[in-house]
Structure 1
Amino acid sequence: MRIALIHNARSRKNRRNGSSFAVEAQALLGKDFVPSDTREGTTEHVRQLYERGIDTILIDGGDGTVSTALTAIARAYPADRLPDIVVLASGNTNLIAGDVGFGLRGMEAIQRLRQGGLRSSVRTPIRLSWPGTDRMPVLGLFGGCAGYARAVRIAHSPTVLRFAPHDLAVGITLLSTFVSLMFRKSREEWLRGDPLRIETGGHVYDGQSFMFLTTGLSRLSRGIWPFWDAEPNVEGLRYLDVSAWPDSLLRATAALLCGRAPRWLRRHPDYVSGRTDDMTLVTESDFVLDGEVFSAAPGGVLRLERASRFRFLHA
């Protein structure tokens, strides 16, 4: 096993814990210690890791750092020679680590990794692209638009980020959403949604969307799971689209926050969930992928596809 580390010194836990781990890891790994940078900067570093034969990459940061690293790896490594991934949960949001995290951090993680005998799981990230533009595609594992983008903007507000780290920020975001639904003016703004056209598997959904979500993960934190399989034995990215002015929203939300999708919900036309290998979205909404907000492209066309499969290691 030849290992490298992509380290985000700006992530919340790394800032709080100081630089001792970074100093030790850099002394141990030398040029295979890579500071997290822009996607372009990280890609150049990762190309050098590939040239040196690195086959296992630790990612020390939150969801945004994992997205940056996976994007860089997909650009630098051949699809049939992707390295094993180790996610060390160190960010403000660690949704990905909640599903495929290593379980340890710091030098303890490196020492355990070198002992071998690890478990693993495979996940397929989302590949987000903007057809007809010069934007480079990016990879991530959880995203959405319409009401989800609006909620993330609340979570990214200075007040929430300052006083509500980690899962508490998500909780405050959900609370803020429901509080907004209690007042007529904000309720109408939220519930009327955003124009969204979805094309996937020969089907077209065209209308107003209250919220659209998609993921390549298999588990979210605290038992929340807002997806179900409309057809059995179908693989691909999971997605959920909730129509504007959805019927029984509070009842549906209560069920999905508990990871349940009762029969009435699966059959309800306001809630559409399934799996797909690829889909095209047309929307004026921003799209959020692993916490990063991407503005809509001219014409509003987005492409979501299954990226190459990555193997994640667990202690």
Structure 2
Amino acid sequence: MIYNPRSHRNIRGNFEFSLCPNVLTAQPDSLAQLTTAMSEFAEKGIHLLVICGGDGTVRDVLTCGLEIFGDDWPAIAVLPRGKTNALSVDLAIPRNWGLQDALAALDHGKRVYRCPMKVTAVSEPGKPIAGFILGAGAFTKATHAGQRAHKLGAFGSIVVGVTGMWTLMQFMFAARGNAWRRGARMRIGLGNTDKPMGYSGKGDPSMRQLLFASTLERFPAGMRPFGALKTGLKLVIIDQISRRAAMMIPIVLMSKLKFRLRQRGIHQLLTTQFSLSIDDEVILDGEAFPSDDYRIEEGPELAFIVP
């Protein structure tokens, strides 16, 4: 088990490791220590990797594991202890799920298979990062707003709802020069051929108001940002849309509006991989990464233990 004592719900409580003497545990304080712990787990041939933390902890563990486990991973169980826990929402893991529950589910539970995204920066070609939610443009603004909401005591789906409403209000009422509506300058290439992403003709063709990508299949509050698309690497890209189109976003998120979205500047699509050249930050599972040229593709298929 990888235990992150800095995760939101781990800070106030001390995990009683004596209750699980037959479980290998590690509390790494750095990525170097995490890599060492993961390497030791691999050498011992573990059958279950338990991650006790939030989405950021999952991202770091999977990133280290890309080199260590390759395509041959043990089963994984996630104990949701972070501030948002998007992966746990997708896997329908109870908030109070504990280590003993995960161990019992190894034999009696189910397995859900997901492929994380593998994100590689051109500036660091040998160091891919693994994660489940990637965003840019207004998504970056919303993430920073959500982090401020955390400081005020709001967590989980509440933060998603509050930041989502604030983003929508900016889309609807802010001036075109506002950072939320302006978005970020980005170039997107789809598939192996890097085919340029199409544009609706709304706003500046070199700008996109928002980019959101994920391999998850379920989201808080029943939202369906990708419409009918469910499995695989999915994208939502919003051009610099009009206020009128912005008013339709709530029904698009609930998959109630499915026609003429591209003409309105809202693109929902499935791809095997894509490239992203951007002059602004990119957010991957809550952490900001600098402007760069990125290649995003599906990583190895992982088996997650669920109740």
Q: Check conservation: 1:160, 1:172, Cα contact below 8 A.
A: no
Deviations 1:99-132 (A, max 9, x none): 1254352243245235x12211111111111114
Alignment-derived partner of residue 304 in structure 1: 296
What secondary structure is seen at the aligned counterpart in 1 of 2:209? strand
Alignment-derived partner of residue 210 in structure 2: 211
Q: Structure 2 CA distance, aligned partners of 1:121 and 1:35?
A: 26
Deviations 1:7-51 (A, max 9, x none): 1111122224x11444534x442xx10214433321221111010
Q: Structure 2 CA distance, aligned partners of 1:278 and 1:185?
A: 34
Deviations 1:248-294 (A, max 9, x none): 333431113324442232x4351112111211111112111111111
Deviations 1:120-160 (A, max 9, x none): 11111111111143672110011111110111111122x54
Change (3 A) 1:94 1:150: same
Decide which of 10, 18, 23 is 1:14's aligned counterpart.
Answer: 10
Alignment-derived partner of residue 89 in structure 1: 80
Q: Check conservation: 2:76, 2:303, Cα contact below 8 A.
A: yes
Structure 1 residue 182: deviation in Å?
A: 6.0
Change (3 A) 1:235 1:91: closer
The answer to whether structure 1 residue 191 and structure 2 residue 191 are counterparts is no
The answer to whether structure 1 residue 55 and structure 2 residue 47 are counterparts is yes
Q: Give the RMSD, CA atoms, in angstroms.
A: 2.4
* Runs of 4+ off more than 4 Å: 181-187
Letter of the 1:263 partner, please give it.
F
Alignment-derived partner of residue 270 in structure 1: 265
Q: Check conservation: 1:89, 1:101, Cα contact below 8 A.
A: no
Alignment-derived partner of residue 156 in structure 2: 166
Unmatched 5+ residue regions in structure 1? none
Q: Check conservation: 2:227, 2:255, Cα contact below 8 A.
A: no
Change (3 A) 1:40 1:279: farther
Letter of the 2:4 partner, please give it.
N
The answer to whether structure 1 residue 119 and structure 2 residue 110 are counterparts is yes
Identity, in percent, stands at: 23
The answer to whether structure 1 residue 108 and structure 2 residue 103 are counterparts is no
Q: Check conservation: 1:190, 1:210, Cα contact below 8 A.
A: yes
Unmatched 5+ residue regions in structure 2? 198-204
User: What pairs with 1:137-148 in structure 2 (closer than 5 Å)?
Assistant: 137-148=128-139
Deviations 1:147-203 (A, max 9, x none): 10111111122x543321222222221233234446545873321221111101343
Q: Check conservation: 1:36, 1:65, Cα contact below 8 A.
A: no
What secondary structure is seen at the aligned counterpart in 2 of 1:149? helix
Change (3 A) 1:218 1:210: same
Q: Structure 1 CA distance, aligned partners of 2:188 and 2:78?
A: 32
Q: Structure 2 CA distance, aligned partners of 1:77 and 1:209?
A: 36
Alignment-derived partner of residue 200 in structure 2: none
Larger % of helix: which?
Answer: 1
TM-score w.r.t. the length of structure 1 is 0.85
TM-score w.r.t. the length of structure 2 is 0.87
Letter of the 1:169 partner, please give it.
V
The answer to whether structure 1 residue 176 and structure 2 residue 166 are counterparts is yes
What secondary structure is seen at the aligned counterpart in 2 of 1:255? helix
Count of residue correspondences: 297
Q: Structure 2 CA distance, aligned partners of 1:113 and 1:84?
A: 11
Q: Structure 2 CA distance, aligned partners of 1:170 and 1:190?
A: 17
Alignment-derived partner of residue 256 in structure 1: 252
Change (3 A) 1:259 1:47: farther
Deviations 1:53-89 (A, max 9, x none): 012111111111111111122221131x211111111
Q: Structure 1 CA distance, aligned partners of 2:75 and 2:104?
A: 15
Change (3 A) 1:223 1:21: farther
Q: Structure 1 CA distance, aligned partners of 2:182 and 2:133?
A: 23
Q: Structure 1 CA distance, aligned partners of 2:255 and 2:27?
A: 37
Change (3 A) 1:135 1:53: closer
